[in-house]
Amino acid sequence: MTAELDVITPTETRPTRAANPLYDPTDGLERPVRPGPVPDPEVFCGWVGETVRALDPTTEADPVGVLVNLLSAGGAVIGPGPFLWIGNDRHPALIWALTVGATAAGRKGAASNTVRRLLKAAVPDFVSENTPSGLSSGEGLIEAVRDGDTDPKTGKTSEGVTDKRLWVVESEYGITMARARREGSSLGGVLRQAWNGEDLGVMNRAAMHATAPHIALIGHISPRELRAKMQDSELAGGTYNRFLPVFVHRNLLLPDAAGASEELVGNLAGAWRTVFTEARRIGEVKLSAEAAELWRSEVYPALSGGEDDDGPLAEFTARAAPYAKRTAMVYALLDHKDTIAEDHLRAAWALIRYARASAAHILGPAATGTGDPNLDKLAAAVRNAGAGGLTQSQVQVMFKRQNATQRSELTARLCRMPGYAAVQLPGDGRPQTVYLYAPAD
């Protein structure tokens, strides 16, 4: 569509698009080489997709980055009314994503700011009151959506928060990850509760409580930082498989970009106000007959385990099946529908596939393993050792049942893997061999 002249309302009938002009190097726009995966055109479905297409020529941000920000923010604005059942679990319209891109070329902030500008025009009160940043603790997040409370000693009543919708954008999510890892931190546990749409509380602070929160979260992080900070224990804790990992890269080179025109933003914002108002009136969301058949015959079997049952990649995408349904619901709601149609489910499925491809690209050898348990064990130990690396003495302790020749062959194979290296560091006596992991972004 032409951004300035062909903006349509969310209730109009739109033709199916067979091509994906957002990543088309022949469209006459200057596009840098994309170093990672490219999403299927199906992700740009419905009114969300039309909005991304309209804004694409106005920003260097990756269209898929704008897309996930819009899905996340849109679900947050809609609030806790709409839901769907997956088994006995009640899922809210919440999408969490980690946009992962190089510091210089990811344009992560540009994607969030593009959506923020649209929201500011469509729902200004939400942007001013419900878009905090700076996740420092679980208690801090609860405070933002706290219930009212009465002190039993003084009888003094503290006022609670009435509107418990939040869209949190963390531009330095690596800092948040570090905070969550601190001993005694409640942040990871509270985040897991928030993704589930559960009441929030911490055991050591009985007065800290929040009922019926509705919190969506976008985190920005570089590939290097994500790889450095992720550890097996964190993955197993279940925090990160609540995020869709989305690789982003600068999509256009716009040296003289002035952003979207006020006319375009205003036109889009008017339609989005209608979408949000109508969606907030919806309760339970179900699949259409066609979508239900697609789910049973193709999507669920494809997302319910298989060859990648083990390893960090599987941990990162463990919630792929329920996330596909949840995402399909948000696509439908933002397309002015109260039922998930087949195209909404296909869009969600395509986005989940892209998230998995993103994780594999970002994590590299850490994602799927090498097929050799000893080599995988050594590689994980070197990654988890951080900047200090893993010494030869520590390798000997780890593999004490192997002889020197076997350990030498193992470390030699490690050093042939991308990002791994052995260095000699001076000491009191002989130089010590240290194994390091330092992949390029």
330 and 213 both lie in a single domain: yes
241 shares its domain with 316 = yes
Q: According to the model, what pLDDT value does residue 16 have?
A: 39
Nearest alpha-carbon partner for 66 in 28, 39, 27, 93: 39
Q: Are residues 291 and 350 in the same domain?
A: yes
* Whether 421 and 344 share a structural domain: no
In a domain, 6, yes or no: no
For the chain, how many structural domains are there in total? 2
Instruction: With beta carbons less than 8 A apart as the criterion, state whether 48 and 359 touch.
Output: no
Domain containing residue 394: CATH number = 1.10.10
**Residues 131 and 227 both lie in one domain:** yes
226, part of any domain: yes
Q: Are the C-beta atoms of 44 and 66 separated by less than 8 Å? A: no
Winning range, highest mean pLDDT, from 34-38, 97-101, 229-233, 409-413: 97-101
Closest CA to 20 of 58, 81, 67: 67
Is residue 14 one of the residues assigned to a domain? no
Residues 351, 418 within the same domain: no
How confident is the model at residue 236, as a pLDDT? 46
Tens of pLDDT along 227-278? 776 654 455 456 777 899 999 999 988 888 889 999 999 999 999 999 999 9
The number of beta carbons lying within 10 Å of the beta carbon of residue 265 is: 20
Last residue of a domain, one of 343, 366, 389: 366
Mean pLDDT calculated for residue range 10-18: 43
Same domain? 348 vs 323:
yes
Q: Rounded CA gap, 250 and 62, in Å?
A: 5
27 pLDDT more than 80: no
Q: Per-residue pLDDT for 9 more than 70?
A: no
Residues 361 and 406 in one domain: no
Residue 110 sits in the same domain as residue 250? yes
* Alpha-carbon gap, residue 30 to 254, rounded angstroms: 8
Please give the residue range of the domain that contains residue 408.
373-437
Reduce the DSSP state of residue 36 to 3 states and report it.
coil
What Cα–Cα distance (Å) separates residue 157 from each residue in 140, 145, 148, 250, 360?
20, 16, 7, 50, 51
Say whether pLDDT at 45 is over 50: yes
Provide the pLDDT for residue 4. Answer: 35
18: pLDDT strictly greater than 60: no
Of 341, 366, 391, the last residue of a domain is 366
4 in any annotated domain? no
**For residue 128, is it within any domain?**
yes
Domain end call among 308, 343, 366: 366
State whether 248 and 384 are in the same domain: no
| Residue 260 within any structural domain of the chain | yes
Is 3 inside a domain boundary? Answer: no
Residues 93 and 234 in one domain: yes
- Does 358 lie in the same domain as 418? no
CATH at residue 336: 3.40.50.300
pLDDT for 74-128, tens place per residue? 999 999 999 999 999 999 999 999 999 998 788 999 999 999 999 999 999 999 9
Confidence of residue 10 (pLDDT cuts 50, 70, 90): low
Structural domain contains residue 217: yes
Nearest 10 degrees: Cα torsion 125, 129, 130, 133: 130
Query: Each residue of 311-357: pLDDT tens digit?
Result: 566 666 678 899 999 999 999 999 999 999 999 999 999 999 999 88
pLDDT at 308: 46
Distance CA 118, CA 334 (A): 14
Sign of the four-CA dihedral 263, 264, 265, 271: positive
User: Token digits for 37?
Assistant: 């995966």
Whether the predicted model's global pTM rises above the 0.85 cut: no
Give the Cα separation of 62 and 22 in Å (integer).
9
CA distance 354 to 247: 8
